[in-house]
Structure 1
């Protein structure tokens, strides 16, 4: 066995969102009371989540709003430091066999849950098996398919005892993989591999729905949750590395209207806001509070390929080629975004030392004439003399509305098609798109790992994120091969071939690669902006 060196004690928390009710997981209520009595609660940062997080159970959540909170409440065997590197977290040591297929972790003796329970190897085994159990119904179980026997168990063709996770004793966890995965530590640092407290979950399956019963093992504990209004987390006094947590309290408000949350920032009710109203961006760019950070993610529109008119590939391509992305990014979103003509964003260095995106920067271009020709051919193939009534859906937010209106105008001008617009609140919207009750719908994706595979995973046939109805066996096969390919160049080639298929089939329209703008109060220092998520307050302090 070869020993993997401990990489450090730092740990991050990432990504957007929230929920509501009041209390604190067993032990959290006492923590909240202690803080209110003056034990280190002089500092606080107030974010804006915009909306209620749909689910704060790490085994069930699928959206970035929930992820923002979850990633700060939990930690896995690894977490990610401020340099984007995986570091040992709940585990203090790991040994890896020479063939790279078995990891044996030793958990920290001082690792505890927010209610004071010790974190055990059995908690991890229980979490992984629950996540995979088809009866549990998690839609993110496929993220664990790297583990031996995981896919078979999740798909009902294998047994739980055949899954390659085992508690050798209270503090020793063994994981067997299907094949060696060079980036497995990065995977283990994602929320998909976070543990939950077995004792708490077995006693109350709804433990994650109320702050009074919520229990976590990360830097923070959930102490207050006022649904549709605010969420508060406070420093977890049982956390093994609490000395590394500078900010004692973090609150998220839930204000969706851009002008309102902008004014709340100006009045001091919010300390950090993202997605500034487009009409103030130019003015605020000269403000020292203005921060602009690239985000490894893609803003897009999904097509429901099971419903007309997007059952036809030529029509899907026509819509994609009819959008002037340069105009959208420069005159509508105006946040410095990069027009997107593919799925994988810039920012991934390949085996050859180049950027994955720059190897194939664009698959198509803005071309209204070609778009019109494709539309006419597609309509002829379908036997349509007039275009079917079509609705574009987006989740309620000012920036999404303005982009949707711009898209509506471009489709009308370039294709002669009149799109209807419809908006829904985030939680309802996620359910609507999950049920495929739409024709064309806005979506964004910030992968948990900065890697092309995690961008392209979005459109796997069994991915919970893929709400288009598009399934391509060759695409899935190439992605599966890339996951276990040991040669970096061959893996890179497999991923490019998969993206070739995705863009040729066009079950979605890439619009732009994210550049996130913020306003941040000038007395806040040490706020961390991960490359694939929203700001982390863990290391932040306040003061002149």
Structure 2
């Protein structure tokens, strides 16, 4: 996920966290009985959502909000394992290809019954070619889903069958060991089809917004705040203790930190480097494992970036350790490959990253030679480039540092362009950039959550890059149930990716955030999502 953006019980462990809410004053209490804490939390989720249609959205800020307003057939627990949620049972055929799913008797917050047809229609909406969902590929595990999305198949052939209002039957293209976990991902959330038919733009206004999760939308002040209330129609409402959950929409990392320190927020993430250092010193900083990679996209359709020698030169002319130590300052690990650690390989006890190893090393003389071989000795004649970055967060400083590395080490000039979140996403998707700041958080704990992004014309492949052998390796990994074959195919694909270099890995993420200390039960998972379903204020 931009993320985008793990779902089995491995090293990346979801943490149960606490944060405190400070009172603003003392009221007289003649009874002497301590007043009950107000069960309300205010959290900064980030920028104004691009959309809150779970089949269309693809950013972490949106996913955080959707996770708390919707719920899929499964939901991840504190150990990052998928547990039954809207599903009452999930039966899998012996060959791993047919999932028969029974639904609980549940409702949307407006009282409409939630049926198997709502799930089917929602998933088909994501797959509809006209919807242009960048996350449609998350449903390609379903039989004939990819063909339909590519206009090479019929919608009626997609392997989603409504057996009855409370029973879904799903046919897969090949066995998928993490499919139950995928069912907890936002793209698989159900949307009330009666509401969709009545309100075309249902997801843009609180008056028409309908969901089925722990919380429901009360109000949406665009570019300011979304206020959620406990959903009384949620099937597990007795275990939801918060009465109100406010999502502030503060795009600027410094502004959100200021609001937190002023007592206007109970928690925020997306911290600036200097604040990470300061919060770490005073003990305020909290950290959680995060399954993700920070990287730069390269628009391979533009000259001279269409030359892999140029892309390789740009990558190996950096000093990632200096970037991590002096610019990011958050405890990140320099990345010399794409897929991060903490993902199991085929052999029990082995890690995919450790098994694959590093694919490149920094080497300034080699970078200069590559650039010269491409026709630009000492950077002479190299056209000016622009680094695009999103302004919500601490992305300008590293862009400036990388700009300096490339000028000093390669003799090339680079400009910087910052854009607000929604514009930045659109610029990337339309390939109207040279080099762009990017990042990806795994949607489940398997290398495929990173590797299938860069197939030809993939929804998240925003580089214009295409490689037939890469596509074939990914197809092999998706079509086989043999874990040894799967993992080797993905290792082979990653080697191609890191040789052609349409992306420049920078570091592997750590989730740095602040939360007040008397709020318990908040789950922070390796995808970077904050789940407030079980949160309480003490």
Query: Is the contact made by 1:234 and 1:248 (CA closer than 8 Å) also made in structure 2?
Result: yes
Matched, 1:237 2:222: no
Which of 348, 363, 367 in structure 2 is aligned with 1:367? 363
Matched, 1:154 2:154: no
Aligned partners of 2:215 and 2:102: how far apart in 1? Answer: 23
Q: Report the secondary structure of 1:481's partner residue.
A: helix
| Residue in structure 2 matched with residue 446 of structure 1 by the alignment | 441
Compute the displacement of 1:360 (Å).
2.3
| Residue in structure 1 matched with residue 50 of structure 2 by the alignment | 54
| Residue in structure 2 matched with residue 132 of structure 1 by the alignment | 127
Query: Is the contact made by 1:140 and 1:463 (CA closer than 8 Å) also made in structure 2?
Result: no
Aligned partners of 1:335 and 1:13: how far apart in 2? Answer: 18
Aligned partners of 2:224 and 2:497: how far apart in 1? Answer: 39
Which of 487, 508, 514 in structure 2 is aligned with 1:513? 508
5 Å matches for 1:299-378? 299-352=294-347, 353-378=349-374
Compute the displacement of 1:74 (Å).
1.3
Classify 1:270/1:504 alpha carbon distance in 2 versus 1 (closer, same or farther; 3 Å): same
Compute the displacement of 1:341 (Å).
1.0
Matched, 1:192 2:197: no
Compute the displacement of 1:321 (Å).
0.4
Q: Report the secondary structure of 1:276's partner residue.
A: coil
| Residue in structure 1 matched with residue 86 of structure 2 by the alignment | 90
Which of 363, 386, 398 in structure 2 is aligned with 1:391? 386
Aligned partners of 2:487 and 2:277: how far apart in 1? Answer: 39
| Residue in structure 2 matched with residue 529 of structure 1 by the alignment | 524
| Residue in structure 1 matched with residue 375 of structure 2 by the alignment | 379
Query: Is the contact made by 2:269 and 2:513 (CA closer than 8 Å) also made in structure 1?
Result: yes
Query: Is the contact made by 2:376 and 2:382 (CA closer than 8 Å) also made in structure 1?
Result: no
Matched, 1:435 2:430: yes
Query: Is the contact made by 2:336 and 2:505 (CA closer than 8 Å) also made in structure 1?
Result: yes
Aligned partners of 1:66 and 1:453: how far apart in 2? Answer: 22
Task: Give the alignment's TM-score, normalised by structure 2.
Answer: 0.90
| Residue in structure 1 matched with residue 19 of structure 2 by the alignment | none
| Residue in structure 2 matched with residue 43 of structure 1 by the alignment | 39
Query: Is the contact made by 1:13 and 1:68 (CA closer than 8 Å) also made in structure 2?
Result: no
Task: Give the alignment's TM-score, normalised by structure 1.
Answer: 0.89
Compute the displacement of 1:246 (Å).
2.7
Query: Is the contact made by 2:215 and 2:229 (CA closer than 8 Å) also made in structure 1?
Result: yes
| Residue in structure 1 matched with residue 497 of structure 2 by the alignment | 502
Query: Is the contact made by 2:92 and 2:100 (CA closer than 8 Å) also made in structure 1?
Result: yes
Aligned partners of 2:15 and 2:227: how far apart in 1? Answer: 15
Compute the displacement of 1:138 (Å).
2.4
Q: Which of 219-228 and 126-135 deviates more?
A: 126-135
Q: Which of 346-355 and 298-307 deviates more?
A: 346-355
Classify 1:274/1:136 alpha carbon distance in 2 versus 1 (closer, same or farther; 3 Å): closer
- Number of residue pairs the alignment of both structures matches: 506
Which of 69, 72, 95 in structure 2 is aligned with 1:73? 69
Aligned partners of 2:397 and 2:217: how far apart in 1? Answer: 35
| Residue in structure 1 matched with residue 29 of structure 2 by the alignment | none
Q: Report the secondary structure of 1:526's partner residue.
A: strand
Aligned partners of 1:41 and 1:432: how far apart in 2? Answer: 45
Q: Report the secondary structure of 2:51's partner residue.
A: coil
Query: Is the contact made by 1:348 and 1:355 (CA closer than 8 Å) also made in structure 2?
Result: yes
Compute the displacement of 1:474 (Å).
1.3
Q: Structure 2: which 5+ runs fail to align?
A: 1-8, 17-35
